[in-house]
A and B are shown apart, each in its own frame.
Chain A
Amino acid sequence: MFGSNLLPNLGEVVAMILFGIGFANLLLQKNLIKKIIGLNIMDTAVYLFLAIKGYIEGRTAPIVVNGVQEVEAYINPIPSGLVLTGIVVSVSVTALMLSLTVRLYRRYPTPDLDGISSRLKKEGI
């Protein structure tokens, strides 16, 4: 069932485990703030996977030193650029969800999802 590359790919396995933990947090927690933390953990797990994809052993960071411009001297720079955009977008999404949480708290004064849902039903919505 398992392929041959399980042990050399241990970093990617850890990224997948973190993704699963973040997803379980998103589904199972009752407190809204912990759901948002779960979403953040999922985000950083995906960035870890992408950054591992760009790593090549024995080579250094993609900053030109001493005019050396061979392909064999630097790692792959493309996943680095993708993750850089992703980190900043992740902070925007977190800020938006936190502001929604604050507004929800002002309306129904409990940060618990079960409490909010039962109050919604009693009001007849």
Chain B
Amino acid sequence: MSRKISEEEYRRQRIVRMKRWLSGEKDLYLDNMEVIPRSEYKPDRKQMERYEHDLDEVMSRTYDTEHNRVYRFFQRFYKMAAVLCCIVLILILIVEVSYLPPVGSASNPASNEVAAKYIEDGMQDTGAVNIVTGMILDYRAFDTFGESNVLFIATCTVLILMRNDKKKGKGSAEDEERRDSFYEPKKDAILQMGARILVPVIMLFGIYIILNGHLSPGGGFSGGAIIGAGLILYLNAFGFEKTERFFTEKTYKTVSFGALLFYCLAKSYSFYTGAHHLESGIPLGTPGAVISSGLILPLNICVGLVVACTMYAFFALFRKGGF
């Protein structure tokens, strides 16, 4: 070819070097080496197997923990250091406890004017005979709202982790049936007889504790946990089919979400007004009656429903992976 400059000078120009590097013929850092494949690459099965075998060997020799002296020394050191750390922690805490004011004395700094206000004005302001229930559902209702939210979030998370989707995986009909019959309990006569007697009593007791939360010890949490335990017993004794008759997934969603929404609408004004109390408009009634104390009874029922649904949902998700 006739050019003004020779071939070598042409190739040394910058633009040409850039073009050749972009098209893959020449690497700027490896002088004048041309990277053009000579023949096509055919994967060789035996070579791949040998390669994987070598890789396994190297991995197991590198991360070998049996013959590694530093690792074993570290294991022993870690155990002794952990025990020492815990003993030092216990000693520091015991020394600190011994300087606290004595247990049970009436002049502790912990019983200050806040506790005095709750005890003296508790029944007048809230109408509840049980001071603790009146405190957590009237003076400090916002904290209980946060706690119900924690239960709801925990259920959502366990649902994500443990759910068994029937559409994925081996979806043949007999596989489903075999898996379901594995989860159904076998018909146990003693368990069924015992559950027939016990479950109505447990449910009645749970409802009694929820409704009497403001008159005697109890409240939403305890009653809800008892009802949840009763539902778990029923599920264990009679299987999933019979429980589906009155407690499907739709029931669970409606009840749980509806109760939480009611609580939110009743008490979430505290986001905006802080500690100022809004009157709810419901009359307080006479202390000692079941229908009394304003908004505390509906809130107790809401909390009880959320807790009961949560406990049942945990068990059903662990057991079967669905409702």
A–B proximity contact (CB within 8 A): yes
Q: Is the CB of A74 within 8 A of B93?
A: no
* List of A residues within 8 angstroms of B185 by Cβ: none
A-B contact count (CB 8 A): 173
**B135 near A12: Cβ-Cβ < 8 Å:** no
Residues from chain A with Cβ under 8 Å of B60 in the complex: 122
With A54-B110, A81-B136, A88-B221 given, is the CB distance from A64 to B129 under 8 Å? yes
Bound CA span A89–B287, Å? 31
| Complex contact A5–B94 (CB within 8 A) | no
A31 to B97, CA, bound (A): 32
Q: Chain A contacts of B93 at CB under 8 A?
A: 16, 19-20
Contact A99 B158, beta carbon cutoff 8 Å: yes
A-contacting residues, B134-193, CB 8 Å: 135-136, 140, 143-144, 147, 150-151, 154, 157-158, 161-162
A13 located at the interface, meaning its Cβ lies under 8 Å from any Cβ of chain B in the complex: yes
> Measured between alpha carbons, how far is A85 from B118 in the docked complex, in Å?
18
Q: Which residues of B contact A53 (CB under 8 A)?
A: 108, 110
**Cβ–Cβ < 8 Å partners of A9 in chain B:** 97-98, 100, 102-103
CB pair A76–B100 under 8 Å, yes or no, is no
Contacts of A28 in B (CB 8 A): 79, 82-83
Q: Is the interface of A mostly helix, strand, loop or mixed?
A: helix
Does A52 sit at the interface, judged by CB under 8 A?
yes
Q: Which of B89, B119, B135, B136 contacts A23 (CB 8 A)?
A: B89
CB distance from A111 to the nearest CB of B (A): 15
Chain A 80-119: CB-based contact to B (< 8 A → 1; otherwise 0): 1100110111011101101110110000000000000010
Report chain B residues within 8 Å CB of A95: 154, 158, 314
B130 interfacial by beta-carbon distance below 8 Å: yes
A residues near B, CB below 8 A? 1-6, 8-9, 11-13, 16-17, 19-21, 23-24, 27-28, 52-57, 61-64, 69-72, 74, 76-81, 84-85, 87-89, 91-93, 95-96, 98-100, 102-103, 118, 121-122, 124
What are 24 A-B contacts with C-beta separation under 8 Å?
A1-B95, A5-B99, A8-B104, A16-B93, A17-B90, A19-B93, A20-B86, A53-B108, A56-B104, A56-B106, A61-B217, A62-B119, A64-B287, A71-B119, A74-B131, A77-B132, A78-B114, A78-B115, A81-B132, A81-B136, A84-B221, A88-B221, A89-B150, A100-B161
